[in-house]
Amino acid sequence: MVSVNPLTQLDLPTLRRRRSMKWRRYPDDVLPLWVAEMDTPLAPPVVDALSQAVHLGDTGYATAGRLAEAFAGFAFHRFGWWPDPAHCVLVGDVAQGIVEVLTVVTAPGDVVLIGGPTYPPFRRLIPRTGRVLRENPMARGADGRFRLDLDRLASDLSAPDVKAYLLVNPHNPAGTVPTRAELAAVAAMCEKHGVRLLSDEIHAPLVFPGSQFVPVLSLPEADRAIAFVSASKAWNLAGLKSALAVAGPRAVTDLRKIPEDAGISAGLFGVLASDAAFRAGGSWLEDLMAGLDHNRMLLESLLAKHLPGIGYAVPEATFLAWLDCTDLGLGDDPAAAFLERGRVALSSGPDFGGMGRGYARLNFATSPEILTEGVLRMAAAVTPIR
Ligand SMILES: Cc1ncc(COP(=O)(O)O)c(C=O)c1O
């Protein structure tokens, strides 16, 4: 089959007709490179599944159907790991799943540790559960890449009030993929200190050549962990609502404590689309990854040419670039200047916590043309007006 880059199929006027958050938050003169939606059409198997449901009027409440089996098949094929479908629970989305699980495995007032910089919704959602969010800063290497800081983690996990650690693997916004050895060390540390390990693996299908995603539950040390998976990022299904919480062998009892109606906030379209994506969306995903791989390198050359003051560690995974703009003199929130003066929308670094000061996150899941235009607009925002 001829491969087609899903990122070059939709032009700007077509994308501007979209009603999703990415395209509606800002006025039409702003180029949106912010929230984690992709500028792609749907994968053909997803189109088929949703069309059939529309024709059937199949728009009632969701049931999980055989989604867990579909995910297990995908995970086995892609990561060599077979999760037990009986240990999976349907939830509306990853964020909701994490909240449900935290409510079961921790108590109000307990500390939930998370590797910073932190995906902004977690900074709001976790405190809303009555738990206390504490950042465990990742370490910035000489290459500008943020990785787990195992020494700091060992010390932070030993605090008696820490009861859960939320790992984000691959990491948003850093774009890093922890190694098997790092994960084993994290799992062992959590076990030693009686801290529950939760692993957000939403970006797992989006790992580039050169790095390898290791599902935390594939490690024997992590048999009490709970992972969260979804097709929503890799196949752009976020608005359809469907994710799975997956329990390690010693966490199954906890997962069963989640109220039975937790899955009610999942959408049937989300389940059907995700099922189709996991079962038959593999070749589309390969084409997408080739396009994203091209874009992550294109971004490097565009920044080198037009904005050499920006620090960019090419991500190992995700379609998100975590840009160090501290040398540009744009203050704590460079995205504000890019928006105001360049009419291009990135995600604001400070929304990711203190470690995000001077940073901005750019979503490169778009066409090379739009990406190029975005960087030119950013450059225009920093060029002194003559
Ligand atoms: C790391 C991470 N976790 C969770 C989410 C949110 O996922 P959901 O829409 O399934 O709650 C995102 C969305 O971008 C994300 O990047």
Is 70 exceeded by the pLDDT of residue 195? yes
Q: pLDDT class for 383, splitting at 50, 70, 90? A: confident
Show Cβ contacts of residue 70 under 8 Å, excluding neighbours closer than 6 positions. 274, 275, 278, 279
Is 90 exceeded by the pLDDT of residue 4? yes
pLDDT by residue (tens digit) across 18-53? 999 999 999 999 999 999 999 999 999 999 999 999
Nearest Cα neighbor of 35 from 349, 337, 363 is: 363
Q: Which pLDDT does position 260 carry in this prediction?
A: 83
244 Cβ closer than 6 Å to some ligand 1 atom: no
**CA 16/CA 136 separation, integer angstroms:** 39
Q: pLDDT class for 105, splitting at 50, 70, 90? A: very high
Residue of 176, 200, 274, 363 with the most ligand 1 atoms within 8 Å of its CB, for mutation: 200
Q: How confident is the model over 56-62, as a mean pLDDT?
A: 97
Cis peptide before 205 (omega within 30 of 0): no
Q: Which pLDDT does position 386 carry in this prediction?
A: 47
Top-confidence residue, 285 or 3: 285
201 Cβ closer than 6 Å to some ligand 1 atom: no
379 Cβ closer than 6 Å to some ligand 1 atom: no
C-alpha of residue 93 to centroid of ligand 1, in Å: 8
Is 90 exceeded by the pLDDT of residue 112? yes
Q: How confident is the model over 200-224, as a mean pLDDT?
A: 98
Is 50 exceeded by the pLDDT of residue 208? yes
Q: Which pLDDT does position 337 carry in this prediction?
A: 97
Instruction: Please state the length of the chain.
Output: 386
**CA 2/CA 311 separation, integer angstroms:** 36
C-alpha of residue 202 to centroid of ligand 1, in Å: 6
**CA 374/CA 377 separation, integer angstroms:** 5
230 Cβ closer than 6 Å to some ligand 1 atom: yes
Distance of alpha carbon 371 from its chain centroid, rounded?
Answer: 20
Is 80 exceeded by the pLDDT of residue 150? yes
Q: How confident is the model over 301-314, as a mean pLDDT?
A: 98
C-alpha of residue 318 to centroid of ligand 1, in Å: 11
C-alpha of residue 193 to centroid of ligand 1, in Å: 27
Is 80 exceeded by the pLDDT of residue 369? yes
Residue of 91, 167, 232 with the most ligand 1 atoms within 8 Å of its CB, for mutation: 232
Shortest-distance Cα residue to atom 14 of ligand 1: 36
**CA 304/CA 189 separation, integer angstroms:** 40
Q: How confident is the model over 89-109, as a mean pLDDT?
A: 97
Is 70 exceeded by the pLDDT of residue 278? yes
Query: DSSP of 237-297, one letter per residue?
Result: -GGG--EEEEE-GGGHHHHHTS-GGGGGGSBHHHHHHHHHHHHH-HHHHHHHHHHHHHHHH
Is 60 exceeded by the pLDDT of residue 179? yes
User: Angle between the 180-193 and 150-157 helix axes, to the nearest 10 degrees?
Assistant: 20
> Over the chain, what is the mean pLDDT?
97
36 Cβ closer than 6 Å to some ligand 1 atom: yes
Token pair 């994290």 is found at: 186
- Per-residue CA distances from 175 to 124, 191, 302, 372 (Å): 22, 26, 19, 20
**CA 291/CA 286 separation, integer angstroms:** 9
C-alpha of residue 22 to centroid of ligand 1, in Å: 14
46 Cβ closer than 6 Å to some ligand 1 atom: no
Q: How confident is the model over 121-128, as a mean pLDDT?
A: 97
What are the E-state strand segments in 148-271?
A: 162-168, 196-200, 226-229, 243-247
Shortest-distance Cα residue to atom 13 of ligand 1: 36
